[in-house]
Amino acid sequence: MFYVNFYYNANHYLYLQKDSADRELRRITAMDALGNITAQSFANGTSEARRFNQRTGRIDSIDLKKGNSYIHQLSYGLFDAKGNVEYRSHSYYNGSGIQTLGFSENFTYDSLNRIETRDLSIGTGSLTGYGYDEQYSYDGFGNINSRKGYAGGSYSVNLASYNYLQSTSVNRLDSANVDGKSYSKFIYDANGNITSDGSRSFSYNAFDKASRIQLGSQYSAYRYDSSRAVLSRSDYRQEAGEWKTFNTDYIGQLYQQERRYKGSAAIGSNLENTRHKYMLGNIMVVRNQNATLGNSEQVQYQHGDHQGSTLSITDERGNILEQYFYSAFGKPMKLAGSSLVQAITPMERGYTGHEMLPNLDVIQMGGRIYDPNLARFLQADPNIQAPTNLQNYNRYSYVLNNPLTYTDPSGYFFKGLFRAIADIPILNAVISVVFAVYCQACLVAYNAMSTYSVTGSLKSTFTSGLTTAIMPGGGSAGGVLASAAIGGLSSKLQGGDFGHGFISAGIGAAFGGRIEVGNQYANVIVAAVIGGTISKLTGGKFANGAVTAGFARAVFGGASNQDSAAVASDSQSQLSGITKALGVVGDVMGRIWSLPNTLIGLGYGGIGMMFGATPVWDGSEGILHFTNMPEWMMPSAMSFGHVHVYGQNSYKNPNGSYVVNRFDSPIVTEETLHTRQSEILGPLYLPLHGMAMGVSQLTGGGTHNKNLLEMGPESGKNPWPW
C-alpha cells in the first residue's frame, strides 16, 4: 500500500513529505515574505533555489543542483512595465556539472502585447532548428501571418506561413507551412473543431472534448467521466522500434495505471508490463509489474521553470534522465536523454505542466487540444474571457499570442487576468483591506478570482472564495456554505456540474443574500441572475447557475415561509417587487461591468491613504469616497467606477467636513453621474473620457466645457450630454 504523509510547521506551512516507507521525498527549507518557496531539497540529493523580486513578486532566477554541481540555471533579467518577459537565459549541465548548453533570449512586443521578435545569443553548444533570430507578424484578427528568421541583414527566411479562410471565417486556418512541415488543408466541424489537417485526423465527443487523434497507424483515444474529466485513454505507437498498445486509467492527476501490450491486441497474453504511477506535484513514484523482469520501483523528479514546464528529469539517485527546452509557443526540444528509462512518454507532463503527445504534435490541455508547432489551438474556444480585449475574440490563438506572460491551465481560460494587481503586493493588500472593511462580498469574489489567476484551479478558487466568506466579518458563513452545497446538488440533479452550481449558489448568496428588494420572489430573481452570471464566468451555463442560485436563495431566503393568505393578498406587492428586482439586477450588472474602473480607484485611493486620505462609505449609493487626497494626486475630484476620490480643495461643508450625500453636494452629484457613465461604458469609460477631454482642449473648451462626458454630469441632471 502506497501513501504519503505531509508535515506542517508551527505556522501551518507544509515543510516535509514522506512516503509509506518513511522515505523523505521533499523538504522545504526556506520561504520569502510573499509565501514563495525559495529553497527546497529532494530525496535524490538535488536541491532547488528560486529568487523572487520582493517588490513585484516576479521570478528572478531558478537554480537546480545536485550537491555543488549545477543541473540547470534560469535567469529572468528584465520585465517591461506591463509584466512581459523581455529577457531570459538558460544554462544546462551534464551529470558532472559541466555546462553543455548556454544561451539567452531577448523579446520585444507590439502595442497589443503580442510577442514580436526573439533574438537568440548562444554562448555554449548549439540549438538545432532554433538558431535564428525570429520575427512574428499578425493580421488585424490576432492570427499569426508569418514567422521569419534573420539572415543577411534582414528577416528574410520564411520559417512559417499561414493562410486563412478570409471569406467565411477569418480566424480559421486553411493551410500552413511551418518549419518545413506542410499542412495542406484544414477541415472543421460545425463547432469549429479541426477534424483533419491533411495528415492527422481528429474526433470529438458530444461536449467537444477530443476523443481520438490519429496520424497514420498511431493514435491516442480518450474516454471521459460524467464530470468531463479524463477517465481512460488508449494509445497505439512505436516504442524502441516495436508497435505497442498502452491502456491507461486515470484518477485525476494523482494516479495512473498503465498497461503495455505487444502489438495491437490488448489481450492478456500480450501484456508486457503494468505501471502504477503516483503523482505528488513534481515527484512521480512508478511501480512496475513486469512479466519477465519482475517487480521494480522508480522515483522521478520533474524540475521546471516559472510556468511549470518540465526542463530536467532526475532519478532517485539524482542522475539526469532527460532535459528539455521549449520554444516561446511550447514546441519541445529534447536536449539530453538517457537510455535507461523513457522518462517523458506521451503520458507525462511537459509544457506548462500539460500532457504531451509528441508523436502526434499535440498538447492535451484538458478543455482543448493545442498544437505547439502551429502555435494555435485546434479547437475554437467556447468562452470569451476578456470581452474588452478584441484579441480575445480570436477563438484559436494561444493566450493572446503572449505565451511568456500567460499560461492556459484548463484549455479554456488563460491565467493572468488579475496579474496586474496580484503582481503588486501593496496594491493587492490595499484592495483586500478596503473590501474587507466596506464590501465583504466583494472580498469573497476578488480573492476567488485572484486565486484562479494564480493557480488556474477551480478547486483552489472555491477554497479561497469560500474561506474568505467564513472568516470573521466575511458575511453569513452558514448561509453561504449551505447555499453553495445545495446549489451544487441542484446543479448535479439537472445534469450540470457540481462545481459550477457550488460556486454560483455560494458566491450568489454572498452577493444576493445582502440585497433585499422588499419581496422574497424578487430576491430569488436577483440571486438567480447573479448566480447565472457567476456560472457563465466560471465556464458553466447561465441557466444552471441561475436555477441553482435561485433555488438556494428560495430555501435560505424565506420565500417558502410565507403563508398562503399572505401570498394571495400580496400579488400587487410581488409585481412591484419584481419590477424593483429588475432594477437591482441592472445595478448589479452595471457594477460588474464597471469593476475594472472600481479596482483602479481602490488602488489609487488606497495609495492616497498613505498620505492622509480618508475612506468614507456612502451606503445609499454604494460608493466609496476617498476624501482629503493630497493635491499632487488629485487637485479636484474624479470618479473611478464606484470609487470617488476628492482632493483637499474639493467641496466642503462650512465646518470643513466633506459631504458624501449626493443630494447635498453638487460635486458629489456630478461624480455620481460619472459613476452611471462608468456602469454603461464599463472598461471603455476611462479611455473615452480621456479622448473627450483631449477633443475639448483642442477645440478651445479646456478639459470640461466641450467635453461630451462632462456636460450632463455638470448639469447635475443625467449622465448624457443632452
- Strand, coil or helix: what is 321? strand
Q: What angle do CA 658, 427, 453 make, to 5 degrees?
A: 130
Predicted pLDDT of residue 585:
63
Identify whether residues 458 and 380 lie together within a single domain.
no
Please check whether residues 365 and 238 belong to one and the same domain. Answer: yes
91 occurs within a structural domain: yes
Higher pLDDT, 585 or 611: 611
Q: Residue 361 has what pLDDT?
A: 94
Is it the case that residue 255 has pLDDT exceeding 80? yes
Residue where a domain stops, chosen among 555, 589, 623: 589
Q: Is the domain of 558 the same as that of 623?
A: no
Better pLDDT: 414 or 505: 414
Cα separation, 5 vs 17, in Å, equals 6
pLDDT of 260-272, one tens digit each? 999 998 888 899 9
Following DSSP, what letter does each residue of 492-520 receive, concatenated? Answer: HHTTS-HHHHHHHHHHHHHHHTT---S-H
- Cα(539)–Cα(516) distance, rounded to whole angstroms? 28
Q: Is the pLDDT of residue 505 over 70?
A: no
Averaged pLDDT for residues 700-722: 80
11 vs 514, which has greater pLDDT? 11
Q: What is the pLDDT of residue 464?
A: 47
Supply φ then ψ for residue 501, to 5 degrees. -65, -40
Q: Once rounded to an integer, what is the mean pLDDT over residues 4-32? A: 92
Q: How confident is the model at residue 446 (pLDDT cuts 50, 70, 90)?
A: low
Domain that holds residue 109: 4-399
Percent of residues, the chain, with pLDDT higher than 90:
40
pLDDT at 695 over 90: no
- Asked if pLDDT for residue 174 goes beyond 90, the answer is yes
Nearest by Cα to 406 from 330, 310, 334: 330
pLDDT tens track for 562-607: 444 444 444 455 545 555 555 666 777 788 888 888 888 888 888 8
Share of the chain above pLDDT 70, in %: 71
pLDDT at 632 over 50: yes
- Whether 289 is in a domain gets the answer yes
CB atoms within 10 A of CB 189: 14
Cα separation values, 599 from 293, 432, 668, 687, Å: 62, 10, 20, 15
Mean pLDDT of 366-394: 88
What does each C-alpha distance from 89 to 57, 117, 326, 406 come to in angstroms? 19, 16, 13, 19
- So what's the pLDDT on residue 95? 86
The answer on 473 and 337 residing in a single domain is no
Question: In this predicted model, what pLDDT tens digit does every residue of 299-316 receive, in sequence order?
Answer: 999 999 999 999 999 999
Which three three-digit cell numbers place residue 187?
477541415
Name residue, grid cell 467556447: 382
What is d(CA 407, CA 354) in angstroms, rounded to the nearest whole number?
10
Give pLDDT, residue 535: 55
Are both 562 and 486 inside the same structural domain? Answer: yes
Q: What is the pLDDT of residues 469-493, one digit of tens each?
A: 444 333 344 444 455 554 554 444 4
Tell me the mean pLDDT in the region 396-420. Answer: 77
Dist. CA 241–CA 220, nearest whole Å:
18
pLDDT the model gives residue 603: 87
Query: If DSSP codes are grouped into helix, strand and coil, which group holds residue 225?
Result: coil
- Of the given ranges (163-177, 331-345, 703-717), which has the lowest mean pLDDT? 331-345
| Biggest CA-to-CA distance, the chain | 95
- The residue type found at 14 is L
Number of H helices, E strands in the chain: 14, 37
- 330 and 387 in a single domain? The answer is yes
Asked if residue 404 belongs to a domain, the reply is: no
Per-residue pLDDT band for 418 (boundaries 50, 70, 90) equals very low
Q: How far apart are CA 257 and CA 277, in angstroms?
A: 6
Residue 417 has pLDDT above 50, yes or no: no
- Identity of residue 572: Q
Q: Is the dihedral of CA 685, 690, 695, 696 positive or negative?
A: positive
Nearest to 541 by CA among 484, 512, 501, 589: 501
Q: Are residues 150 and 165 in the same domain?
A: yes
Give the CA dihedral 680, 682, 686, 688, nearest 10 degrees.
-60
- Kindly state the cell numbers that stand for 243: 508497435
Q: Please name the helix (run of DSSP H) or strand (run of DSSP E) that holds residue 530, with its range, or none.
A: helix 520-537
φ and ψ at residue 518, rounded to 5 degrees: 90, 0
Average of per-residue pLDDT across 178-194: 94
Residue 412 lies in a domain: no
Q: How confident is the model at residue 18 (pLDDT cuts 50, 70, 90)?
A: very high
pLDDT given for residue 617 in this prediction? 80
Same domain, 446 and 393: no
Residue 80 lies in a domain: yes
Q: Are residues 508 and 616 in the same domain?
A: no
Strand order across the 643-647 sheet: 614-618, 623-629, 643-647, 637-640
What is the CB-side half-sphere exposure of residue 360 using CA atoms within 13 A? 30
Which residue is associated with the grid cell 512516503? Answer: 19
615 shares a domain with 572: no
Average pLDDT for 398-426: 69
pLDDT category of residue 519 using cuts at 50, 70 and 90: low
Q: Is the dihedral of CA 579, 584, 585, 589 positive or negative?
A: positive
- On whether residue 447 sits in a domain, the answer given is yes
Q: What is the mean pLDDT of the chain?
A: 79
pLDDT digits (tens, 9 = 90+) for 637-650: 889 998 999 887 66
pLDDT of residue 596: 86
- CA separation for the pair 651, 657 (Å, rounded): 9
Instruction: Tell me the per-residue pLDDT of 89-116, one tens digit each, with 9 for 90 and over.
Output: 999 999 899 999 999 999 999 999 999 9
Please list, residue by residue across 139-178, b when 16 or more beta carbons sit within 10 angstroms of its beta carbon and e when fewer do: eeebbbeebbebeeeebeeebbebebeeeebebbbbbbeb
Radius of gyration of the chain (CA): 29
| Confidence class for position 552, pLDDT limits 50, 70, 90 | low
Q: What is the reported pLDDT for 653?
A: 55
Record the pTM.
0.63
Of 340 and 196, the one with more pLDDT: 196
pLDDT confidence bin for 692, thresholds 50/70/90: confident
Q: Are 353 and 437 in the same domain?
A: no
Angle at 384 between CA 382 and CA 388, to 5 degrees: 165
Q: Tell me, what's the pLDDT at 562?
A: 45
Q: Is the pLDDT of residue 442 over 80?
A: no
Residue 354 near residue 346, CB atoms below 8 Å: no
Q: Which of 342, 370, 399 is the last residue of a domain?
A: 399
**CA distances in angstroms from 635 to 512, 592, 604, listed in the order given:** 37, 28, 14
Q: From CA 454, how far away is CA 477, in angstroms rounded?
A: 25
Same domain flag for 209 and 343: yes
Among 541, 571, 589, identify where a domain stops: 589
344, pLDDT greater than 50:
no
Q: What total number of domains does the chain contain? A: 3
pLDDT per position as a tens digit, 208-251: 999 999 999 999 999 999 888 899 999 999 988 899 999 999 99
In the 3-class helix/strand/coil scheme, how is 118-145 assigned residue by residue? Answer: EEEEEEECCCCCCCCCEEEEECCCCCEE
List CB contacts of 493: < 8 A, sequence separation 6 or more: none
Mean pLDDT of 669-685: 88
Say if residue 343's pLDDT is above 60.
no
Compute, in degrees rounded to 10, the torsion defined by CA atoms 478, 480, 483, 488. -120
Domain membership of residue 672 (yes or no) is: yes
Mean pLDDT to the nearest integer, 608-612:
86
Mean pLDDT is lowest, of 177-186, 320-329, 544-553, for 544-553
Q: What is the pLDDT of residue 323?
A: 93
CATH of the domain at 252: 2.180.10.10
Q: What is the pLDDT of residues 187-197, one digit of tens each?
A: 999 999 999 99
For residue 408, being part of any structural domain is answered with no
